[in-house]
Chain A
Amino acid sequence: MSAKPEITLEHFYVFNGTYAKKEGEEEKKILYYYPSKIDLDSQIKNIGLSEAIIKFTESFNPGQACDYCHTHKTRQIYFQPEPDFWMVMIVGVPRVWKVKDGTQFMEYQNEEVSSNVCQAILRQTYTMFRLFMGSFDTILNDPECGSVLLLKHKLDHFYSRYLLSLKLNNSDILDVFQGLQFLPLDKTTFLRVQCFMNLVEAMFSQVKYTAFLYNDQLVWSGLDPEDMQVVYNYLISTLLPAYLEKELHGGSMPRNSPSPFTSSHYGKFVTGPSSINEPNGTGKLPRVYINYSTIPISLYLVVYRALSATICLFVDSKTSLVMDFFKSLDTFLGPQLTTLVSSVAEQCSKHVTIVADSSPKYLYFNKLNLAYKSTIHLDNRRCSNVLTTPEVLRIITDINNDTNKLKEAGEVIIKTMSDYWVVGKLSNLREFFVVIQQKNANLIEIDDEVKRLCEQQLKSIFFH
């Protein structure tokens, strides 16, 4: 047996059908096409098919956009992020060679691919693009050089790298939730964090919004939750892992040469100047576009880290980014954050509960504040670091999918062929899943087990 068959990214394209006014101009519709090696004719043909499918479903279903299409070998996901703009992602279904009656044939494992998860990934590719490049509309209407050409250029610039980082095979229900992990803190410590962040905003008027994370967990955010979802995802799955990696490899270099201005502290810029003493410039700061639900604005994203704490500062894009600005930030943030983080750490150590391997695993998500908690996933970096089988994760996705369709609240208890019990409780926009592996258990025992777990972990949350 070879390695586990994988889902592959076959095509990914962005098009706008209204850009081709007459026949022969089809090429104009294409804004981005992956893989770029494919000849233009095939690109036009594939986009043509997508347009036909979109039109076909619309003719039966006015007002409801096409979501996805299954073929024997692929899954095609459709998403219309902005009027007339369509994004299509086509993934190849995992396949294996099988032998039946002496003849070899290719089996396509269609059931292994979850359309919901793929849809969530496609949405992510758009929100991530919008975070860093702005919406398609913003780009087209850029007062200086807005044009279709600019849009094409930006799409190419962004996706040619971003698509390579897609983790189609390690994606699961967490991608559907796009949740945030919050750090539970006692009132005093939480207020200290909040005070500190307010102080930063007051001291530096250029700072429009702030966010505070401890490890992978969010403590405070002034951002719109929808924007925080995307920023959080970027920090946790891209920026911070890359930064930590770099730190680790550069281990021999002084962690932070004691700053000449202040007493020693552990603060460092993750985005921005790599060292305050570096004379050659402030480094390249990412610009982010947020607030699309109201008035979109573009801001600089400054990320500052001390020990396990990470601070995000969203800085007015009109600010001139001179070294002095960063120096004063560092002087202010460094020492204060270093002391703050130790008290947060102290609080956290009180909360650590050691989970026995055999005890039930759970996953909780609250749609209202986007909070999630999982003891199924060891971390949230999508590295298949999960404590259960892919089958169980898929069943959780199925339950989520079905109950969304039924639009009803309640409880579902499932026993799989491999004797896993999966329990889903859904009510008040909250979802709670428990996975128990226990042979010979019966429904009542499982029910008791889940009640116990709810009592322990979700005391204050009401399920009917």
Chain B
Amino acid sequence: MLWNVNRKRKFINSGKTKVFSCSAMATKETVSVGDGIAEPGIEPGASAETMLVTTDSFEEYEQEMSSSIDDKHMKESTTSTISEIQEEVQDIPVTPTPTSPVDLKKVASPDDPELEDISYQFGQTSLDVDPLRSKAWLAQKKHVFVLSQAGKPIYSRHSSEDKLVTVMGVMQALVSFVQDGNDMIRSVHAGDTNFVFVVKGPLILVSVSKTLESVPQLVLQLTYVYNQILSVLTQSQLTRVYDQRRNFDLRRLLTGSERLIDHLLNFMDREPAFFLGAVKCLPLLPSMRDSITQTIVQTCGKIKNLVFAILLANNQLVTLVRMKKYFIHPADLHLIQNLVDSSESFKSAESWTPICLPKFDSNGFMHGHVSYLAEDCQACLLLLTVDRDVFFTLSDAKQKIVEKLRRTNCLEAINESMNKTSVTTGEIGLPEMRHVLYKCRSTAQFWSPGFQSPYTTDEEVERLLGLYQCLHHRLHAPSRPLKLIFQQLDKETMLAWVTSGFELYVTFEPLVTKPDAINSVSKLLKWIKKEEERLFILNSPTF
């Protein structure tokens, strides 16, 4: 199974803007007034090569919407990417043998058991009362619930799910009642609260949100939660347990994974990567990045069955080396980032972790060698293979990689970039610009500067992200996509602009004039263009 990189673009080009193609257009700079802003000829960060599957999150949404109602789409894919790789590389075909749930539990919950215990008890005592009577609980900005089609509680974000048996029963009843009428409940709206329902396989996921996020964005988040569960269990195992017992209590298999879901939900509340469907890279000199990549390629090139080598630092991508023909979907990479970011234990020892990447192959586990490069370099290296018996081979490889990186001063370079605070738009020389999100559509990578005043508190950052999400939703509204939004509101002026090559979301001072805003966008694009080799990964190395 192979993803086509040049997916069909649901995008109408306005003659003036350039269609993304494999030519070296990134270097061309034609001045045109296509959308009346700047020179859309520039597409900083564009590259014909990409290691990420490029999709827009709204495509995902459409797929979700059509697949959950049409049973024909519901059937699991019969092809398994993992077994395909195994067959290709090895002479003897090996069928993937999913790790037994017990094993899994051990490996997937490497958290300190004591800590776990305390937080568990805390959860118990603080919410002995019915959560629905607790003002604080009701005031939470976003609730997420997971339950089985039989109405059994599986997960609740803000309280122990035990207390919510009744309310989850109601959710299940609403879903199944509407299903009986050959229909599907999608969302309910009351005042400022949106209730969003997603039915996936044997699970029901519900979000109760008071944020400005749109229904498609909430659906996307619930889909991430579902994928997070799959990454621990695999789809085939999930289906199997419910086929065997409709009334199964899935919490038994997910013990220890709640923290992954908790973390994922918090992660999504403050990271634009999710709704953008893109990944951010750690800024590095291109020569340094190449040298790191080459080190990994040379050291691991000979290891059979190694599919991906991913190096992450501060949640940003340093490099990604892939097996020829195989790409990674940003959604899978986000789950990997979530796993790394939420597991302190990886810092203390190298680990061997089974992980299912739902977009890659939802039915099988990959095995990941996860470790931080060194005490003095907190970048995390993941070596993902389909072979479950190569821990020591990978462990050796990792040692070699670290030694070489140290010798070539690469560790230092990584550290330096990690410790440097992100550049702000003020420092770039754009005083009227407060913040920006730039997504390169052809490579599914994005860049954003550091937050500056007034976005210095959590609330303000969240508010800003909420505004970006509103703009993103409007640009990509399934039936009414837009090219450009320029809005001047009380607290800030914002621009959202999509061309065939990129998506841009800019926040300005509220009183900026339109010519000044447009000028600074041109300057920004030129700056990104100048820095593109440092800010983005423009090639797609393979083993």
User: Are the C-beta atoms of B479 and A440 separated by less than 8 Å?
Assistant: no
User: Are the C-beta atoms of A68 and B477 separated by less than 8 Å?
Assistant: no
Is residue A443 contacting chain B, with contact meaning CB distance below 8 A? yes
Query: Using an 8 Å CB-CB cutoff, how does the interface string of B475-495 with A read, 1 for contact, 0 for none?
Result: 001111111111111110000
User: Are the C-beta atoms of A57 and B170 separated by less than 8 Å?
Assistant: no
Q: Which residues of A contact B178 (CB under 8 A)?
A: 49, 71
Q: Which of B18-26, B32-40, B80-88, B407-415 contacts A (4 or more CB under 8 A)?
A: B32-40
User: Are the C-beta atoms of B483 and A443 separated by less than 8 Å?
Assistant: no
Q: A409-B489, A414-B484 are in contact. Are A447 and B514 (CB under 8 A)?
A: yes
Minimum C-beta distance from B314 to chain A (A): 32
Q: Which of A103-111, A220-228, A299-307 contacts B (4 or more CB under 8 A)?
A: A103-111
Q: A64-B192, A445-B36 are in contact. Are A394 and B480 (CB under 8 A)?
A: yes
User: Are the C-beta atoms of B138 and A62 separated by less than 8 Å?
Assistant: yes
Complex Cα spacing A402 to B469, Å: 12
Q: Which residues of B contact A446 (CB under 8 A)?
A: 36
Q: Which residues of B contact A408 (CB under 8 A)?
A: 489-491
Q: Which residues of B contact A110 (CB under 8 A)?
A: 186
Additional 11 contacts, C-beta under 8 A, given A57-B193, A70-B215, A111-B477? A49-B177, A53-B174, A61-B190, A67-B191, A71-B184, A72-B184, A111-B479, A406-B212, A409-B489, A413-B486, A442-B37
A residues 24-68 in Cβ contact with B at 8 Å: 49, 52-53, 55-68
Q: Which of A147-155, A351-359, A415-423 contacts B (4 or more CB under 8 A)?
A: A415-423
Complex Cα spacing A68 to B485, Å: 28
Q: Which residues of A contact B138 (CB under 8 A)?
A: 60-62
Complex Cα spacing A105 to B69, Å: 11
Complex Cα spacing A398 to B208, Å: 22
Query: Using an 8 Å CB-CB cutoff, how does the interface string of A60-89 with B read, 1 for contact, 0 for none?
Result: 111111111111111000000000000000
CB<8 Å pairs between A and B, sample of 28 = A49-B177, A52-B174, A56-B195, A57-B195, A60-B132, A61-B190, A66-B189, A66-B190, A68-B188, A68-B189, A72-B184, A73-B183, A110-B186, A111-B478, A391-B480, A406-B470, A408-B489, A410-B488, A410-B489, A411-B487, A413-B484, A413-B485, A415-B35, A415-B485, A417-B481, A442-B33, A442-B35, A447-B514
Q: Which residues of B contact A109 (CB under 8 A)?
A: 479
Q: Which residues of A contact B16 (CB under 8 A)?
A: 440
User: Are the C-beta atoms of A70 and B474 separated by less than 8 Å?
Assistant: no
CB < 8 Å neighbour of A69 from B70, B187, B477? B187
Secondary structure dominating the interface of B: mixed
Minimum C-beta distance from B172 to chain A (A): 11
Complex Cα spacing A62 to B138, Å: 9
Minimum C-beta distance from B501 to chain A (A): 16
Is residue B173 contacting chain A, with contact meaning CB distance below 8 A? yes
| Partner-A contacts on B (CB < 8 A) | 12, 14, 16, 33, 35-37, 65, 69-70, 72, 132, 138, 143, 167, 170-171, 173-174, 177-178, 183-193, 195, 208, 212, 215, 470, 474, 477-491, 514-515, 518
User: Are the C-beta atoms of B36 and A112 separated by less than 8 Å?
Assistant: no
| Partner-B contacts on A (CB < 8 A) | 49, 52-53, 55-74, 103, 105, 109-112, 115, 391, 394-395, 398, 402, 405-406, 408-419, 440-447
User: Are the C-beta atoms of A111 and B480 separated by less than 8 Å?
Assistant: yes
CB < 8 Å neighbour of B186 from A56, A71, A405? A71
User: Are the C-beta atoms of B183 and A72 separated by less than 8 Å?
Assistant: yes
Q: Which residues of A contact B482 (CB under 8 A)?
A: 395, 414-417
Complex Cα spacing A58 to B186, Å: 18
User: Are the C-beta atoms of A395 and B195 separated by less than 8 Å?
Assistant: no
User: Are the C-beta atoms of A441 and B36 separated by less than 8 Å?
Assistant: yes
Return the chain A residue nearest B470 by Cβ.
Answer: A402
Complex Cα spacing A447 to B517, Å: 13
Q: A415-B483, A443-B486, A445-B36 are in contact. Are A60 and B193 (CB under 8 A)?
A: yes
Number of A-B contacts (CB under 8 A): 157
Minimum C-beta distance from B35 to chain A (A): 7
CB < 8 Å neighbour of B36 from A411, A416, A442? A442
User: Are the C-beta atoms of B190 and A57 separated by less than 8 Å?
Assistant: yes
Return the chain B residue nearest A424 by Cβ.
Answer: B487
Complex Cα spacing A258 to B10, Å: 68
CB < 8 Å neighbour of B208 from A53, A60, A73? A60
Complex Cα spacing A413 to B70, Å: 38
Return the chain A residue nearest B69 by Cβ.
Answer: A72
Minimum C-beta distance from B180 to chain A (A): 9
User: Are the C-beta atoms of B72 and A406 separated by less than 8 Å?
Assistant: no
Return the chain A residue nearest B510 by Cβ.
Answer: A410
CB < 8 Å neighbour of A419 from B14, B170, B479, B481? B14
Complex Cα spacing A412 to B187, Å: 27
Complex Cα spacing A395 to B484, Å: 13
User: Are the C-beta atoms of A64 and B191 separated by less than 8 Å?
Assistant: yes
User: Are the C-beta atoms of B486 and A412 separated by less than 8 Å?
Assistant: yes
CB < 8 Å neighbour of A443 from B167, B177, B518? B518
CB < 8 Å neighbour of A65 from B177, B190, B484? B190
User: Are the C-beta atoms of B132 and A443 separated by less than 8 Å?
Assistant: no
Complex Cα spacing A445 to B36, Å: 9
User: Are the C-beta atoms of A69 and B188 separated by less than 8 Å?
Assistant: yes
Complex Cα spacing A62 to B191, Å: 10
User: Are the C-beta atoms of B170 and A56 separated by less than 8 Å?
Assistant: yes
Q: Which residues of B contact A57 (CB under 8 A)?
A: 188, 190, 193, 195
Complex Cα spacing A398 to B482, Å: 12
Task: Name which of A49, A112, A418 has the most chain B CB atoms within 10 A of its CB.
Answer: A49
CB < 8 Å neighbour of A60 from B14, B195, B515? B195
Q: Which residues of A contact B480 (CB under 8 A)?
A: 111, 391, 394-395, 398, 416
Complex Cα spacing A412 to B482, Å: 13
Return the chain B residue nearest A45 by Cβ.
Answer: B177
Complex Cα spacing A402 to B467, Å: 11
Q: Which residues of A contact B212 (CB under 8 A)?
A: 405-406
Minimum C-beta distance from B503 to chain A (A): 14
Minimum C-beta distance from A464 to chain B (A): 9
Q: Which residues of A contact B477 (CB under 8 A)?
A: 111, 398
User: Are the C-beta atoms of A53 and B188 separated by less than 8 Å?
Assistant: yes
List the 9 shortest-distance A-B pairs measured between CB atoms, nearest first. Answer: A442-B36, A64-B191, A111-B479, A57-B190, A410-B489, A415-B484, A72-B184, A70-B186, A413-B486
Return the chain A residue nearest B517 by Cβ.
Answer: A443
Complex Cα spacing A405 to B36, Å: 29
Return the chain A residue nearest B33 by Cβ.
Answer: A442
Complex Cα spacing A67 to B192, Å: 10
Q: Which residues of A contact B515 (CB under 8 A)?
A: 444
Q: Which residues of A contact B143 (CB under 8 A)?
A: 60
Return the chain B residue nearest A42 by Cβ.
Answer: B181
Q: Which residues of A contact B488 (CB under 8 A)?
A: 410-412
Q: Which residues of B contact A66 (CB under 8 A)?
A: 188-190
CB < 8 Å neighbour of B174 from A56, A406, A443? A56
